[in-house]
Structure 1
Amino acid sequence: MPDHARTAFTLRPATAADSATLLRLIVALAEYEKLTHLVEATPAKLEAALFGARPQAEAVIAEVEGGQAVGFALYFHNFSTFLAKPGLYLEDLFVEPAWRGHGIGKALLRHLAALALERGCGRFEWSVLDWNQPSIDFYEAMGADVMPDWRICRVTGDALTRLGSK
């Protein structure tokens, strides 16, 4: 086990060459959330979605000495009609369990908050599973408000096909 106290880390934008690494981290996140059965991503799908002709999202990778990727944040822009400004939406943030508690998650959130400010965003938002109290506590400690009055609505699969074909 590496000595985390002395191991520096860096954040960098993901590139197309990172697609397999991103998938590895996404699968690790899905394992943590007990949602591996929902993972359909492949390196090719990620490369097309993130680095293709019309990128749908962006990602930042956290690396420790030696270039080992130990965390990531994947995000995209949304839009607030009330503010008439873009927002930055964090789809996923993950740091491998062995590397938690060493400032990597905080650095990823701070990096994205700075990026949101730089891009003129009025909001920086994300969702958290209601059972994930360690993450809720972490986000609240970073200054986030967990919005109790809002619920996520999702339409996928056959229901999306039905809704979109009427």
Structure 2
Amino acid sequence: MIQIREAQPEDAGIILECIKGLAVHVDQVEMVTATVQDIRNTIFAPDTHVTVFVAENEDKKVCGFTLVFKSFSTFKGVTNYHIEDLFVFPEYRKLGIGAMLMKHLKTYAKSKGAKVIDWYVNNRNHSAMDFYDRIGAKKLDYKSIYYFDV
């Protein structure tokens, strides 16, 4: 049985392992520079804007995670949530854990008054795009992502 719970500071190491696992999955390992201490200092800081949920099996082994933060819709005038990452370790895929994490996020965001949860998908991550299509997520085709390195 899978349980979804909010991550705690002692989960920093497994959160980093999830991040690295996602980087391997999308062939971007070289982009990961975070350390366990970085995770502790940012995700679990008193003023954090980030929430992490982990999926645990009956043996208390973390099978996957998702990381969200608040965003804002000027058109709707409400706070929403943005998923930065969602990852399930390969050995736990096809068990419905990703769908459970998404369902949990929807319940969480709704309880906080959000109207929308959005996320980006790496164009290399075809399995993720297929998954999001299967669970009924809508795709925006009218936006492009731009950014600055600072």
Is the TM-score greater than 0.5? yes
Q: Deviations over 1:60-103 (max 9, x none)?
A: 01111211111000000000000000011000000011111111
SS of match in other structure, 1:89: strand
1:153 and 2:146 are equivalent in the alignment: yes
1:79 and 2:72 are equivalent in the alignment: yes
What corresponds to 1:107 in structure 2?
100
SS of match in other structure, 2:84: strand
1:122 and 2:122 are equivalent in the alignment: no
CA distance in 2, matches of 1:66, 1:138: 26
SS of match in other structure, 2:23: helix
More contact order relative to length (CA 8 Å, sep ≥ 6): 2
| TM-score, length of structure 1 as denominator length | 0.87
SS of match in other structure, 2:138: coil
What corresponds to 2:51 in structure 1?
58
| TM-score, length of structure 2 as denominator length | 0.96
**Percent of paired sites with the same residue:** 31
Give the conservation status (yes or no) of the 8 Å contact 1:94–1:105: yes
The 5-angstrom pairing of residues 24-103 of structure 1 reads: 24-103=17-96
CA distance in 2, matches of 1:130, 1:52: 31
Amino acid at match of 1:103: G
Q: How many residue pairs align between the two structures?
A: 150
Amino acid at match of 1:59: V
Q: By how many angstroms is 1:56 displaced?
A: 2.7
1:20 and 2:13 are equivalent in the alignment: yes
Q: By how many angstroms is 1:130 displaced?
A: 2.1
CA distance in 2, matches of 1:58, 1:13: 7
- Structure 1's consecutive aligned runs of 4 or more residues displaced over 3 angstroms after TM superposition are none
Larger Rg: 1
Q: Which runs of 5+ in 2 are unaligned?
A: none
Q: Which runs of 5+ in 1 are unaligned?
A: 1-7, 161-166
